[in-house]
């Protein structure tokens, strides 16, 4: 009789352990589900970075001049004689030019 | 052939005339007055006699250059700029139009078809995010403006131009530091080849802004005081505006020296110089008394990775970059 009591008590204990273990799984699963949003965001951020890096490797033709049609100065009426200060300085740059030309071959 | 320094504060054009160089410089600023009545229109026009100004189709008066700064100071306001930190200002709606007008007037029509002109552009800054600064659009805008008046325009880095103007006696080996209003540009050159170029976004305008905040005066007032006042970098001054200017100048120099050291330390493209190098300094901001001496002092104190032979101030700090552009126009 005593043995039967012990056996049933042990069965209840084992069953309780299994139940707690299973609940742990359920809680972990639920928490994992909740975390899926930020994980997805991080992934998309890195995707964007990758896309940017990819875009950077594309060469741009920087020799083409942007023809900006907005820069019109015809509507501005001149109301002065001279603009700017003029100065003349003794400064022979021919030696600099020759030296640089020689250095550059 | 012509050289053109398109600066945030000054536009300087240079052309050769025998053994001489002709420089034309103009203050890069404007101030708009919009008359409210026809009577006011006539009064304003009368008051502006002898000043450099243009009239817009909407009846506004656009005062240009140093007259714009004078007028702004008179009205306790700040003059506007078509350029900001070395490039066409995105803050100003009229920036491109005003810049186009000033540039066309300063350089004039080309003397022959596709006359060569070299202008300077700033380098990518080391203290600002890439996305916030790009020189490509500015370059295109300036090229476009100059092509309209018949020039075949090419651009070079601002500090590279300075090296061409100032490092002949050092076989074009050394460092050029161009201290403009909007930016400080740096070029490390080895035998005429630029090896490292970069810029920092703090310079004279930063000193004006910070001093204006400290003294409660508009930026234009600080600028005028700074340019006409008597002060030495890092030394106390009785004038409260100049006292703030002196103090912020020292901070700027310390910042520049630290940025220079940090940018060059361990840089892959930095040459291994055999001898101590010459550093040449130019630009409007460097004209302050004690600037060059203080920069030398701060470079030595900031673990600068190269041995320095001398830190020299350009003989003509405001025209040196334009002269370098003129030399480049004849070499390139």
The domain total for chain A is 1
CATH topology of domain B166-320: Nucleotidyltransferase; domain 5 (3.30.420)
Nearest CB among B140, B148, B323 relative to A66 is that of B140
pLDDT per residue as tens digits for the range B157-172:
999 999 999 999 999 9
Residues above pLDDT 90, as percent of chain B: 75
Q: How confident is the model at residue A45 (pLDDT cuts 50, 70, 90)?
A: very low
Q: How confident is the model at residue A44 (pLDDT cuts 50, 70, 90)?
A: very low
Mean pLDDT for B174-202 is 95
What residue in B sits closest to A52 (Cα-Cα)?
Answer: B131
Q: Which residues of B touch A87 (CB under 8 A)?
A: 22-23, 25, 319
pLDDT at A48: 47
CATH topology of domain B2-32+69-162+321-331: Nucleotidyltransferase; domain 5 (3.30.420)
What tokens appear for B213 in the block?
């905040």
Say which DSSP state B25 is in.
Answer: E
Q: H/E element holding B250?
A: helix B240-264
pLDDT at B62: 95
Q: Give A72's contacts (C-beta < 8 A, 6+ positions apart).
A: B97
Query: Is the Cβ pair A68, B96 closer than 8 Å?
Result: yes
Residues above pLDDT 90, as percent of chain A: 12
Mean pLDDT for B221-225 is 86
The region of weakest confidence among A44-53, B100-109, B209-218, B299-308 is: A44-53
How many residues are there in chain B? 332
Q: Do domains B2-32+69-162+321-331 and B166-320 have the same CATH topology?
A: yes
Count CB neighbours of B227 within 10 A.
15
Mean pLDDT for B177-200 is 95
pLDDT at B195: 95
To test the contact with chain A by mutation, choose from B51, B52, B151, B154 the residue with the greatest count of A C-beta atoms within 10 A, namely B52
Q: How confident is the model at residue B129 (pLDDT cuts 50, 70, 90)?
A: low
Tell me which residue range forms the domain holding A43.
1-57
pLDDT at B11: 96
Mean pLDDT of chain B: 92
Q: Which residues of A touch B143 (CB under 8 A)?
A: 65
What residue in A sits closest to B166 (Cα-Cα)?
Answer: A96
Comparison of pLDDT for B266 and A38, the residue scoring more: B266
Say yes or no: A79 contacts chain B, CB-CB below 8 A: yes
**Which of A31-45, A53-67, B303-317: highest mean pLDDT?**
B303-317
Question: In the predicted model, is pLDDT for residue A41 greater than 50?
Answer: no
pLDDT at A57: 58
Q: Please state, in angstroms and rounded to a whole number, the distance separating the CA atoms of residues B127 and B296.
A: 21
Q: Please state, in angstroms and rounded to a whole number, the distance separating the CA atoms of residues B21 and B30.
A: 27
Q: What is the CA radius of gyration of chain A?
A: 41
pLDDT at A22: 86
Q: Which of B184, B177, B192, B197 is nearest to B296 (CA)?
A: B177
What residue in B sits closest to A70 (Cα-Cα)?
Answer: B97
Query: Is the Cβ pair A76, B54 closer than 8 Å?
Result: yes
Q: What is the DSSP string of A61-84?
A: -TTSPP--TT---TTPEE--S--S
Nearest CB among A71, A77, A103 relative to B55 is that of A77
pLDDT at B243: 94
Q: Which residues of B touch A84 (CB under 8 A)?
A: 11, 13, 24-26, 65, 105-106
Mean pLDDT for B53-67 is 93
pLDDT per residue as tens digits for the range B19-48:
899 999 999 999 999 998 888 899 999 999
The region of weakest confidence among B65-74, B91-100, B321-330 is: B91-100
What residue in A sits closest to B12 (Cα-Cα)?
Answer: A84
Q: Would you say residue A104 lies in a domain?
A: no
What residue in A sits closest to B102 (Cα-Cα)?
Answer: A83
Count CB neighbours of A80 within 10 A.
16
Q: Please state, in angstroms and rounded to a whole number, the distance separating the CA atoms of residues B189 and B223.
A: 32
Contact criterion met (CB below 8 Å) for B320 and B165: yes
pLDDT at A51: 54
Question: In the predicted model, is pLDDT for residue B131 greater than 70?
Answer: no
Size of interface A-B (CB pairs under 8 A): 122
Q: Would you say residue A17 lies in a domain?
A: yes
Q: Which residues of B touch A75 (CB under 8 A)?
A: 56-57
Q: Which long-range contacts (CB under 8 A, 24 or more apart) does B292-298 make?
A: B294/B233, B294/B234, B294/B249, B294/B250, B294/B253, B295/B177, B295/B253, B295/B256, B295/B257, B298/B253, B298/B254, B298/B256, B298/B257, B298/B258
Contact criterion met (CB below 8 Å) for B177 and B281: yes
Tell me the shortest Cα–Cα distance from A94 to chain B, in angstroms. Answer: 8
Nearest CB among A76, A92, A104 relative to B19 is that of A92
Indicate if ipTM > 0.90: no
Q: How confident is the model at residue A4 (pLDDT cuts 50, 70, 90)?
A: confident
Domain ranges (residues) in chain B = 2-32+69-162+321-331, 33-64, 166-320
Q: Please state, in angstroms and rounded to a whole number, the distance separating the CA atoms of residues B255 and B310.
A: 20
What tokens appear for B216 in the block?
């409660």
């Amino acid at each position: 009789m005593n043995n039967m009591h012990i056996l049933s008590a042990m069965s209840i204990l084992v069953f309780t352990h299994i139940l707690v273990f299973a609940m742990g799984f359920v809680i972990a699963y639920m928490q994992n589900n909740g975390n899926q949003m930020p994980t997805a965001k991080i992934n998309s951020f890195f995707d964007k970075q990758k896309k940017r890096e990819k875009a950077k490797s594309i060469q741009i033709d920087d020799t083409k001049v942007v023809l900006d049609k907005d820069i019109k100065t015809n509507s501005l009426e001149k109301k002065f004689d001279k603009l700017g200060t003029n100065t003349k300085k003794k400064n022979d740059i021919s030696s600099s030019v020759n030296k640089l030309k020689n250095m550059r071959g | 052939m012509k050289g053109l320094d398109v600066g945030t504060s000054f536009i300087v054009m240079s052309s050769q005339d025998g053994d001489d160089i002709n420089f034309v410089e103009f203050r890069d600023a404007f101030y708009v007055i919009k008359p409210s009545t026809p009577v006011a229109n006539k009064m304003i026009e009368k008051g502006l006699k002898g000043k450099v100004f243009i009239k817009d189709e909407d009846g506004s008066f656009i005062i240009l250059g140093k007259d714009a700064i004078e007028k702004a100071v008179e009205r306790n306001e700040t003059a506007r700029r078509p350029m900001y930190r070395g490039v066409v200002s995105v803050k100003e709606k009229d920036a491109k139009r005003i810049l186009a007008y000033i540039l066309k007037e300063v350089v004039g029509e080309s003397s022959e078809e596709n006359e060569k002109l070299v202008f300077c552009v700033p380098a990518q800054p080391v203290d600002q995010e890439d996305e916030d600064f790009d020189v490509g659009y500015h370059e295109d805008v300036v090229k476009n403006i100059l092509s309209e008046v018949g020039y075949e325009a090419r651009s070079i880095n601002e500090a590279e131009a300075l090296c061409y103007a100032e490092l002949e006696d050092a076989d074009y080996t050394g460092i050029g530091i161009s201290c403009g209003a909007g930016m400080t540009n740096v070029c490390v050159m080895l035998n005429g080849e630029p090896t490292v170029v970069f810029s920092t976004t703090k310079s004279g305008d930063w000193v004006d802004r910070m001093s204006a905040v400290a003294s409660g005066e508009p930026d234009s007032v600080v600028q005028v005081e700074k340019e006409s006042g008597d002060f030495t970098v890092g030394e106390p001054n009785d004038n409260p505006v100049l006292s703030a200017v002196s103090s912020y100048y020292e901070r700027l120099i310390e910042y520049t020296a630290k940025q220079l050291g940090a940018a060059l330390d361990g840089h892959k493209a930095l040459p291994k110089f055999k001898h101590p190098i010459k550093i040449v300094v130019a630009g409007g901001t460097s004209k302050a008394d004690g600037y060059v001496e203080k920069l030398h002092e701060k470079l030595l104190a900031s673990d600068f990775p190269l041995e320095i032979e001398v830190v020299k101030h350009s003989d003509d700090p405001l025209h040196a970059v334009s002269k370098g552009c003129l030399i480049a126009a004849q070499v390139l």
